[in-house]
């Protein structure tokens, strides 16, 4: 039996769970369920990271001991899984005694091989990141993440000879293209490693400065650096080195957000190599969840509480939205309106409507019993071919963590079934008393609905089980073989009784958009007094005339519109223009032999990372021209108003080069 081990990063207990934590947990749970459906033995690990400067400081501010504070916040993360319909196999804490023992064993082992040494170091220490920065890593003297000026600290510490493994790591990444994915993050790590000598890693903190940590086994005056401690949870949870779980499940498939790429892509593999442990299988890196295209921040008041969304819309809709909305590796924007839009369009209109129509017709035409099919037509054969392709594509994308593409593939089948109802017109067959053909049509629909429900179990398990129950089935994981579902036919037994209707996904109202956050402006600087300020009455400004409503542009003929060649393409790369602050140089795949280079004035609204992997609409027949010295071969379309700019794109995934008509 194949095995699959997936982990979330262990979450730092300096704040309560938010949308990003929820997404990573749901993704790991979905991957675990998917691999179990594929007949594999899967293990899902999550937990909390509880040592270090930030926890010591946060607990002090809360008037608690570090352990009391960690217990409280860790409890919130432990409760996160059940709330999201996620079922981890193990929840680890870095304060667990067994984890502490494992960390000390690994430290001692690496120390005895000579890869840990004692030395003196002076560097710029960011307490938010809990790490030292070199001069070249700072941005205008500031920490690149926290935008604060680090404190210069010179002290004696223990160091891990990470530099020793630089050449090995470069070679290993190049030889194993799926080690870090998507490719943009693999390339980012290679660029980092190849840009200069890798420095050794400071892995201790003196107890004179910090006591909240795991004591070094070879020097009681120091505690372990939080990253060297935390990363080892992935093996300590499996009872490394002699535990049966370690022998059974290692190596791991890690899921992390892009902000912790370096520790997982550089620190962790070199630590494993030094300890004599096989490298992990894959590092799967996702982007940030933005809120209205802005990074979540407590100061802005735009942090999304997962519980509020689950309470309002249900676990199934919330899980579906997150897994459908975020393209693997790219940032995604969360709004409540977008969640409601997906719920209404995908779940209520497409899937819910399909179930309601077919269940009602089964009751009307066959007394609620699954009919026996007769001979199939070419139309039926074509639907089965489409269904096989949709399911194969779903499985292929899901196995590579591309859940958005996987769900879009499955929805091609959902939409095809709704269309099949319209073209076969069961009501006409019933009226014409063509019961044999009617039975075949209804069975085609019901069996495909069963297949869809089974495929959706990793995404929304609760709804999947209820859909199967509505079809007269029960879900039994031991009897499902998802890998065979595209090929097998007829697993829905004739004669089963189906429910009369489905109310899993009722439509909901779009919420009123929240008012923009009010930010106090900086106090204006004092100006020289004017005559009016010095005693003369100031004239009132004339009231501003209201702006005239913007009307439609001048009318054009259809022939004018036909001159535009609008095509959908995928952004392969994006970078800032070397000579223009507001321009991005974008490479777009349009189904042509070579990607198009488009110079777009989007840098004031989008970062390069925002665009990579997104599908965009391009004016493909715009005459090429040079912009600030670089050739531009088209135009990327956006929709914007005074405050928001959004990329114009297709509602679902479209083949590169697809024409807008």
The pair phi, psi for residue 124, each rounded to 5°, is -90, 110
**Residue 1 carries which DSSP code?**
-
Closest CA to 91 of 210, 197, 35, 8: 8
**Known catalytic membership, residue 455:** no
Tokens 């004018």 -> residue: 560
Indicate which residue of 16, 18, 258, 384 is catalytic: 18
Identify the H or E element spanning 453: helix 435-455
**Known catalytic membership, residue 474:** no
Tell me how long the chain is. Answer: 661
Q: What is the 3-state secondary structure (H, E, C) of 538-586?
A: CCCCCCCCCCCCCCCCCCCCHHHHHCCCEEEEEEEEEEECCCCCCCEEE
- How many beta carbons lie within 10 A of that of residue 247, not counting itself? 12
Indicate which residue of 51, 54, 124, 129 is catalytic: 129
Compute the chain's Rg from CA coordinates. 29
**Known catalytic membership, residue 129:** yes
β-sheet bridge partners, residue 588: 571, 596
Integer Cα distance of 637 and 79 in angstroms: 43
Is the distance from CB of 69 to CB of 55 less than 8 angstroms? yes
Indicate which residue of 67, 87, 295, 659 is catalytic: 295
**Known catalytic membership, residue 363:** no
**Known catalytic membership, residue 146:** yes
Helix (H, G, I), strand (E, B) or coil at 180: strand
Integer Cα distance of 315 and 618 in angstroms: 37
β-sheet bridge partners, residue 570: 589, 615
Indicate which residue of 298, 529, 544, 626 is catalytic: 298
The pair phi, psi for residue 427, each rounded to 5°, is -65, -35
Q: Which two tokens stand for residue 173?
A: 């990444």
Closest CA to 453 of 368, 362, 347: 347
Cis peptide before 373 (omega within 30 of 0): no
Indicate which residue of 143, 202, 224, 473 is catalytic: 143
Tokens 């196995």 -> residue: 399
Is the distance from CB of 286 to CB of 22 less than 8 angstroms? no
**Known catalytic membership, residue 202:** no
Indicate which residue of 67, 87, 101, 146 is catalytic: 146
Indicate which residue of 35, 54, 126, 473 is catalytic: 126
**Known catalytic membership, residue 126:** yes
Is the distance from CB of 638 to CB of 602 less than 8 angstroms? yes
Integer Cα distance of 329 and 186 in angstroms: 11
Angle, alpha carbons 418-422-425 (nearest 5°): 125
**Residue 513 carries which DSSP code?**
P
**Known catalytic membership, residue 143:** yes
Integer Cα distance of 1 and 40 in angstroms: 6
Indicate which residue of 21, 35, 99, 455 is catalytic: 21
Active site residues: 18, 21, 126, 129, 143, 146, 295, 298
């Amino acid at each position: 039996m194949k095995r699959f081990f997936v982990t979330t990063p262990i979450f730092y207990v300096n704040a309560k769970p938010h949308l990003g934590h929820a997404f990573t947990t749901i993704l790991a749970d979905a991957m675990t369920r998917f691999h179990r459906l594929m007949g594999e033995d899967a293990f899902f690990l999550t937990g909390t990271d509880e040592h270090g400067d930030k926890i010591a400081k946060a607990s002090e501010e809360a008037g608690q001991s570090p352990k009391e504070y960690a217990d409280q916040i860790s409890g919130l993360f432990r409760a996160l899984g059940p709330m999201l319909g996620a079922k981890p196999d193990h929840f680890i804490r870095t304060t667990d005694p067994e984890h502490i023992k494992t960390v000390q064993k690994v430290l001692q082992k690496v120390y005895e091989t000579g890869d840990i040494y004692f030395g003196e170091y002076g560097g710029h220490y960011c307490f938010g990141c809990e790490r030292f920065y070199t001069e070249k890593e700072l941005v205008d003297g500031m920490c690149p993440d926290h935008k604060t000026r680090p404190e210069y600290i010179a002290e004696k510490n223990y160091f891990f000879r990470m530099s020793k493994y630089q050449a090995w790591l470069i070679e290993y990444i190049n030889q194993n293209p799926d080690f870090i994915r998507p490719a943009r993050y693999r390339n980012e790590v290679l660029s980092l490693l190849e840009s200069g000598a890798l420095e050794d890693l400071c892995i201790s903190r003196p107890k004179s400065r910090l006591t909240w940590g795991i004591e070094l086994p070879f020097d009681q005056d120091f505690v372990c650096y939080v990253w060297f401690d935390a990363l080892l949870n992935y093996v300590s949870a499996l009872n490394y080195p002699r535990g049966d779980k370690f022998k059974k499940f290692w190596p791991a498939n890690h899921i992390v957000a892009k902000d912790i790429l370096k520790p997982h892509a550089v620190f962790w593999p070199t630590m494993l190599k030094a300890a004599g442990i096989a490298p992990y299988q894959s590092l799967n890196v996702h982007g940030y969840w933005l809120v209205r295209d802005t990074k979540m921040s407590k100061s802005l008041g735009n942090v999304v509480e997962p519980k509020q969304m689950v309470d309002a819309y249900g676990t199934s809709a919330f899980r579906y939205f997150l897994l459908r909305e975020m393209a693997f590796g790219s940032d995604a924007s969360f709004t409540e309106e977008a969640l409601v839009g997906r719920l209404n369009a995908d779940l209520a209109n497409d899937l819910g409507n399909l179930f309601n129509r077919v269940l009602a017709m089964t009751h009307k035409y066959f007394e609620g019993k699954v009919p026996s099919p007769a001979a199939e037509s070419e139309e039926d054969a074509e639907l089965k071919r489409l269904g096989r392709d949709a399911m194969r594509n779903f499985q292929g994308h899901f196995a590579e963590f591309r859940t958005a593409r996987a769900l879009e593939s499955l929805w091609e089948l959902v939409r095809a079934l709704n269309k099949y109802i319209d073209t076969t017109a069961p009501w006409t067959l019933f009226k014409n008393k063509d019961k044999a053909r009617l039975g075949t049509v209804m069975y085609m629909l019901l069996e495909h609905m069963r297949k869809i429900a089974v495929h959706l179990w990793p995404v929304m398990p609760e709804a999947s089980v209820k859909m199967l129950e509505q079809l007269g089935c029960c879900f039994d994981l031991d009897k499902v073989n998802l890998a065979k579902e595209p090929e097998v036919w007829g697993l829905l037994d004739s004669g089963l009784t189906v429910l009369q209707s489905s109310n899993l996904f009722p439509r909901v109202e779009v919420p009123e958009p929240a008012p923009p956050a009010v930010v106090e402006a900086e106090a204006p600087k004092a100006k020289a007094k004017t005559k009016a300020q010095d005693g003369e009455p100031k004239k009132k400004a004339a009231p501003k005339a209201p702006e005239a409503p913007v009307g439609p542009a001048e009318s054009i003929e259809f022939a004018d519109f036909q001159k535009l060649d609008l095509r959908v393409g995928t952004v392969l790369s994006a970078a800032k223009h070397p000579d223009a602050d507001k321009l991005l140089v974008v490479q777009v795949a349009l189904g042509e032999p070579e990607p198009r280079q488009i110079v777009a004035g989007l840098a004031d609204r989008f970062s390069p990372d925002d665009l990579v992997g997104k599908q965009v609409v391009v004016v493909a027949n715009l005459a090429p021209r040079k912009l600030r010295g670089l050739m531009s071969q088209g135009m990327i379309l956006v929709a914007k108003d005074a405050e928001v700019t959004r990329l114009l794109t297709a509602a679902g995934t479209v083949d590169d080069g697809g024409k807008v008509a």
